[in-house]
Amino acid sequence: MFTLRNAEFVTTVAAARDLPPAQGAEVAFVGRSNAGKSSALNAITGRRRLAFVSKTPGRTQYINFYRVAPGRHLVDLPGYGYAAAPAATRAQWNALIGGYLQTRAALRGVVLIMDARRGLTASDRQLILWLKPAGRPLHVLLSKADQLGRRQANVVLHDVALALRRERVDASVQLFSSTHKMGIVEAAARIEAWLAGDGHKKPPVKGE
């Protein structure tokens, strides 16, 4: 067995052609810029500076790979939905991330980090559209849940779960806070189960 706490940085890539060979199992982290993705990666791996918490939203346009165990990787995808990003940057992002999510053979599951105060945005829905045809399982972290009262947090949890059911996507959802260490055990268990799985139940994606 392995632990996410052994995560260590392997490589960073800026273009699909530079992706490492798709061997073993990968779990990808995605989310809007500033949703708390880097903080979540650090909290879940127990590594304070594994991923850099960004001061400038939308700045990172690279895919970072972290090795948890031989052939088991966490993949940090660049944040999206940053309105000030030029159209060309957004098009590049769509090609890189859309391509990765739809065709990556090693991808076992996707963790979507969503600010609990914002709920499901249009960009999140676009992402879900990419996951659906390939049958990628999705786990949603409703981040910064510490900013909501308990009752309000449960309303968001219920609403997002309902929205995901309506999207007919294979998804689970939980409350999460990096700063308050909320939901970390639950999230880590989900990710470790995906990484430990020997294969994907679904048939291979066209083009793989």
Rounded-to-integer distance, Cα 97 and Cα 134, Å: 14
Residue span 40-79 as binding mask against ligand GDP, x where in contact by CB under 6 A, dash where not: -------------xx------------------------x
Instruction: Work out how close the CB of 183 gets to ligand GDP at its nearest, in angstroms, rounded to a whole number.
Output: 10
Helix (H) or strand (E) holding 39: helix 37-45
Which stretch, 16-24, 34-42, 66-74, 86-94, contacts ligand GDP (CB under 6 A)? 34-42
38 binds ligand GDP (CB under 6 A): yes
177 binds ligand GDP (CB under 6 A): yes
Nearer to ligand GDP, 51 or 128 (CB): 51
* 26 CB neighbour count, 10 Å cutoff: 25
Nearer to ligand GDP, 106 or 114 (CB): 114
Listed residue (160, 152, 153, 158) closest to 182, CA to CA:
153
Nearer to ligand GDP, 40 or 134 (CB): 40
Rounded-to-integer distance, Cα 180 and Cα 61, Å: 28
| 158 backbone dihedrals φ, ψ, rounded to 5° | -65, -45
